[in-house]
Amino acid sequence: MKLMLKKENELKNRSHYLEKLIEFKDTDFVKIITGIRRCGKSSLMKLMIKHLLDNGIEKNQIIQINFESMEFKRITVEDLYNYVKSNLPKDKKAYLFFDEIQKVSEWQDAINSFRVDFECDIYITGSNAFLLSSEYATYLAGRSIEIKVYPLSFIEFIDFHGYKIIEKKSLTGAISRKVENENGEAYEIKELFDAYITFGGMPSLTELPLEIDKALTILDGIY
């Protein structure tokens, strides 16, 4: 039987990490999301934004910048400060989300100014090596909390590919477990575990059918 893994473009919840961000929401700490490339840092940030919108925060309270966008490619730290200042909501807390902030020279000066000058809650993603280098680790000490994001666990791998674990009890009371897709097709858990071992847990692999050549091409670009 050939195992068919589902292509899934939907933004999937990674509740373990999201709950950590929610725990520190509206605190003075800068929330730093770290992890290897393509492990889901940006997606986690989007999940946090969705959580805010679903819980009463208005769109104009959220300022989101991805520094990999051409729009912000040559932005200076002064430009960044002025951009945020000019887009702040009136008489409401701002929620600031900065993706790949290490691309801005002296970004730490802007972050510190936001904390001092504005009523805001700050979330950033970036390179582990850069954000947590000795220089910046010293600067952020006592002012930040780090959320380390890892590739998918096996349970997340099952969920991301559209499967569910089904338990069945026999007449004798013995419990067996299999996985089923949305069409009701059942597979042994070992079949999915073998796929997990073969392809790994990078979330980006869920965007394409799992074929070994395509998977290796994606992984070569990451590592």
Residue 7 confidence (pLDDT): 47
**46: amino acid identity, one letter:** K
- Of 157, 123, 120, 107, nearest in space to 44 by CA: 123
For residues 163 and 195, the answer to whether their CB atoms sit within 8 Å is: no
Q: Could you report the average pLDDT of every consecutive run of 10 residues in the chain (223 residues)?
A: 50 89 96 87 95 97 95 94 96 96 89 94 83 62 87 90 82 81 85 86 70 62 54
Q: Which domains, from first to last, does the chain contain?
A: 15-148 (3.40.50.300), 154-222 (no CATH)
Q: How many Cβ atoms are within 10 Å of 35's Cβ, its own excluded?
A: 19
Q: What DSSP designation does 9 have?
A: -
Q: Which residue has the tokens 């890892």?
A: 150
pTM recorded for the entire structure: 0.82
Residue 1 confidence (pLDDT): 38
β 62-66/144-148 pair status: unpaired
Bin 76: left if φ > 0, else alpha if -120 < ψ < 50, else beta.
beta
